[in-house]
Chains A and B, each alone.
Chain A
Amino acid sequence: MAAHAVATQEKQGLSNGMLGFILFLASEVMFFGGLFAAYFIARSDAREWPPVYLLTPEQVAAGVKLEVEFWLPFIATILLITSSVTIQLGVFSIQRGNRSGLIRWTFISIVLGLVFLVMQVYDYSQLHFGIGDTIYGTTFYTLTGFHGLHVLGGVIFMGIILARSLAGQFTAANHEAVEACSFYWHFVDVVWIALFTTLYIIP
């Protein structure tokens, strides 16, 4: 009988786990989409940006300034993009069966992720506005804060990958968790690039 009767359960391409993980990332995109939407609506509502006209005399007297520093986040951006490269080098290593390469690159990526987090916390401590200081402060800390939590999640994810690679669990044929981790880390990186562009570059 005709061709459409011969349906088979093809198990090629993405595994179930990777497909599920990509769907999870799609839901994450929608989550950040909601946050970005809030930011752009706030900007389109504002007469000027940063919206200094919204500051109350008390806030001005308390020394609130709606300004961000550029160079520290810029360096942090370079580091995060670098860590995306290093985690990918880890994936390439294990694809060739090179477990020590995976361990080395994952370790470097974790360090870069941690440095990023430290720089973010330091950057927070240097700013002259808080989450309650107009929609500017609210959107800034909410967007970068949720991203920071995702970086922390990624660092923990990479820590698990590191522990599992030290335990010898990954091989050239079996390293799906490493790939999933790298997908997640690239996603966190891409979100940051969008955030950095939005918060620091768009005038």
Chain B
Amino acid sequence: MTSIAIPRPAYAERPWILDWLTTVDHKKLGILYLYTTMFFFAVGGILALLVRAQLAVADNTFVNNDAYNQLFTMHASAMLFLFIIPVWAGFGNYIVPLQIGAADMAFPRINALSFWLIPPAGLLMFSGFLFGGASDVGWTAYSPLARSSGVGLDLWIIAVIILGVSSTIGAANFMVTMFRMRAPGMTMFRMPIFCWTMLVTAVLQLLATPVLASGLAMLYIDRNFGGSFFDPNGGGNAILWQNIFWFYSHPAVYIMILPGMGIISEILPVFARKPLFGYKAFVFATMGIGGLGFSVWAHHMFTTGAVLKPWFGFMTFMIGVPTGVKMFNWLGTLWRGSITFEAPMLFALGFLSMFLIGGINGTFSAAVPVDFAIHDTYFVVAHIHYVLFGGAVFAVFAGLYYWFPKIWGRRLDERLARIHFALQFIGFNLAFFPMHLLGLDGMPRRIATYSESAGWETLNLISTIGAFLIGVAMIPFIINVVMAFLRPKDQPNDPWEGNTLEWWTTSPPPVHNFDSLPEVHSERPLWDLRHGNAAH
């Protein structure tokens, strides 16, 4: 084995707090991203529990209608804009430069800017609660409702624009990093899958987020300067907002899931002790999802009657194809593997099964006649939570358990992890599976309460119990993390027998990441070394 020596730069010592506030190290920024986004995950989760508490029984008066509208709006906004989208930037920040054998991101200071835009934007979004109420129009902010909502929506608009700037410049940073900073020998088609999914995600962010920013600017002008963009009385068009919003927000659902797919695709091969089945097919499927992602936005708008239904229905079925390809990549990887069930693998398998349900019930809605029946019912709420919780959140935890030894140098306890997984898996299905039935039974989404005569009480109560069980599932996780932090850093470079370059360096890595790099002949250089394939 040959290795390539990398010169080691010198570092100045700074006070601990100043070091974290001014750092441009991708690893420290990645950790800051993870802490911040997990904080907002907790906030969004508490809001969700309040929503579920209100819906637990019929004719409930736990919160009033206005408060309820703010709760579900801020739940979705926090989870989507302040948790899921930036948490991938957190993982990407820490892992991508390590996986491609780089010393840092291409633009470390822009990287710091991307992160530091997020906490103030989050505070701005939530500051609405102090000024007569946060945004209460749903995270989709449809007009004409959004034209008359309170000042909380203005704060929300500005916050989302700031988060969009963070996301856009971060995307350019990731793209340049992966295009230009790869280790010697690592061609594009030897990049680890997680990097590929981050790359396609970055392309979607770069091209879709500014369109949302333009729409948000229009909404702000309509609300504050008397504009008529979304007001038919002045010649505007309310459906225009939906088109602009979903032109961003449909690609955005792939922004929210593709890096999760990438994490799963790193974990399954390691714990099945097999290379990923069909690496190139997976890469092309990821590109396919990215490309098709721009052609399906109007399937959110079938019932407006203002979109070309056959086209958007057909394209939506089409986007199921590359997703199906990935399913077979994952199943093919597991097939005849020497599978072990450590915590990352448990959550990865949780992702596989739950995301499959989310994919299938999503395809239902692609069929226009079916969509007319289930549009804006709890069926859609079930679908979105099966892909974003069953998919993305399970992948977040899979990634946390998988890379925790690398990032913090300590291993999380397996028994607590199993308890966490079991509680979360059961709680998740209790919370969200009944929503399918509620939706088919006609329960509309976003209603603050419902009559006892509707017959929705039992299923809603089950759903609420499930939601609180998810909350309980976080307790073993938090205990696990705290206990790990109390232990000394004892993890070797490669505790899992990983395949990719992040496992080549120490845990946690030094500031400069690598003292040396192995030769890269495939997307799994460490596997090659272990199995003596390095020479070909």
Give the nearest-CB partner of B187 in chain A: A7
Residue among B180, B217, B226, B234 making CB contact with A146, cutoff 8 Å: B217
Return chain A residues, CB-CB under 8 Å to B210.
27-28, 30-31, 33-34
B237 touches A27 (CB 8 A): no
Residue positions of B touching A, CB distance < 8 A:
106-107, 110, 168-169, 171-173, 175-176, 179-187, 190, 206-215, 217-218, 221-222, 225-229, 233-237, 240, 243-244, 247, 520-521, 535-536
B172 touches A138 (CB 8 A): no
Return chain B residues, CB-CB under 8 Å to A142.
217-218, 221, 227, 229
B190 touches A7 (CB 8 A): yes
A26 touches B107 (CB 8 A): no
Return chain B residues, CB-CB under 8 Å to A34.
210-215, 244, 247
User: Quick one: given A7-B185, A7-B186, A132-B226, are A138 and B176 in contact (CB under 8 Å)?
Assistant: no
Residue among A1, A136, A138 making CB contact with B221, cutoff 8 Å: A138
Residue among B169, B179, B185, B247 making CB contact with A19, cutoff 8 Å: B179
A38 touches B229 (CB 8 A): yes
User: Quick one: given A41-B240, A45-B237, are A138 and B185 in contact (CB under 8 Å)?
Assistant: no
Shortest Cβ distance from A54 into chain B, in angstroms?
5
Mark contacts of A110-145 with chain B using CB atoms, 8 A cut-off: 1 yes-contact digit, 0 otherwise. 000000000000000000001110111111001000
- In whole angstroms, how far apart are the Cα atoms of A51 and B214 in the complex? 23
Any chain B CB within 8 A of the CB of A89? no
- In whole angstroms, how far apart are the Cα atoms of A31 and B207 in the complex? 9
- In whole angstroms, how far apart are the Cα atoms of A137 and B187 in the complex? 52
A20 touches B521 (CB 8 A): no
B228 touches A16 (CB 8 A): no
Return chain A residues, CB-CB under 8 Å to B233.
54
Residue positions of A touching B, CB distance < 8 A:
1, 4-5, 7-9, 11, 16-17, 19-20, 23-24, 26-28, 30-35, 37-38, 41-42, 45-46, 51, 54, 130-132, 134-139, 142, 146
- In whole angstroms, how far apart are the Cα atoms of A142 and B216 in the complex? 12
B235 touches A27 (CB 8 A): no
Residue among B181, B184, B209, B211 making CB contact with A33, cutoff 8 Å: B211
Return chain A residues, CB-CB under 8 Å to B209.
27, 30
B235 touches A131 (CB 8 A): no
User: Quick one: given A38-B244, A41-B237, A132-B227, are A30 and B172 in contact (CB under 8 Å)?
Assistant: no
Residue among B107, B168, B234, B243 making CB contact with A135, cutoff 8 Å: B234
A30 touches B211 (CB 8 A): yes
- In whole angstroms, how far apart are the Cα atoms of A134 and B237 in the complex? 12
- In whole angstroms, how far apart are the Cα atoms of A176 and B471 in the complex? 52
Shortest Cβ distance from B366 into chain A, in angstroms?
24
Residue among A5, A26, A37 making CB contact with B206, cutoff 8 Å: A26
> What are 23 of the A-B contact pairs (CB < 8 Å)?
A1-B535, A7-B185, A7-B186, A9-B180, A9-B181, A9-B182, A16-B180, A26-B207, A28-B210, A30-B206, A30-B208, A31-B214, A32-B214, A33-B210, A33-B211, A35-B214, A35-B218, A37-B240, A41-B240, A42-B236, A42-B237, A46-B235, A132-B228
A31 touches B211 (CB 8 A): yes
Return chain A residues, CB-CB under 8 Å to B181.
9, 16
Give the nearest-CB partner of A1 in chain B: B536
Return chain A residues, CB-CB under 8 Å to B520.
7
Return chain B residues, CB-CB under 8 Å to A32.
214
- In whole angstroms, how far apart are the Cα atoms of A55 and B118 in the complex? 42
Give the nearest-CB partner of B218 in chain A: A38
Give the nearest-CB partner of B179 in chain A: A19
A138 touches B236 (CB 8 A): yes
Residue among B168, B190, B240 making CB contact with A38, cutoff 8 Å: B240
Shortest Cβ distance from B445 into chain A, in angstroms?
27
Return chain A residues, CB-CB under 8 Å to B179.
19
Shortest Cβ distance from A65 into chain B, in angstroms?
16
